[in-house]
Amino acid sequence: MNEVKIGMPLIKDLSVNHYKGRRRDGGEYVKKPVAKWMEDMGWILKPYHLEDWKLPLTVRCDIVQSDKRTRDISNYSKVVLDAIEDLTGINDTNYRWVDGDPSYGEHAELVLTISEG
């Protein structure tokens, strides 16, 4: 069974509630820092060829926080799954999201574990 575990920095506006902005014409866009974060994640995952793995993919997200704020880990699912979909072309209906556990550390990050079905 294939599995990969990566750490990605926890940046401002990463949650589903904040990662998109609205244009004056009513359209939406992904904010630049989040778009860069998604692209960086894609480059880290590209060598693993997730598109060749058995579906559905399970994506577990654990959070390492540098403060004691309460965060809803599910709010990061849309951004993470959209980034994987952009990389692989696999529709996000073929993913299973698992909320992981919060922990505390010096550097805030999301620890993502992706495994095949």
Per-residue pLDDT for 92 more than 90? no
The Cα–Cα gap between 56 and 112 comes to 16
**Which residues are CB-contacts of 36 (< 8 A; sequence separation ≥ 6)?**
none
Has residue 62 got a pLDDT over 90? yes
In the prediction, which pLDDT does 20 show? 73
pLDDT of amino acid 26: 83
Is residue 48 a contact partner of residue 86, using CB atoms and an 8 Å limit?
no
Cβ–Cβ contacts within 10 Å for residue 43, how many? 9
Out of 32-41, 51-60, 107-116, pick the least confident.
Answer: 32-41
9 compared with 12, residue with greater pLDDT: 9
Domains of the chain: 3-115 (3.30.1330.70)
The SS3 call for residue 86 is helix
Give the pLDDT of residue 63: 94
Residue 59 confidence (pLDDT):
97
Q: Which residue type sits at 92?
A: D
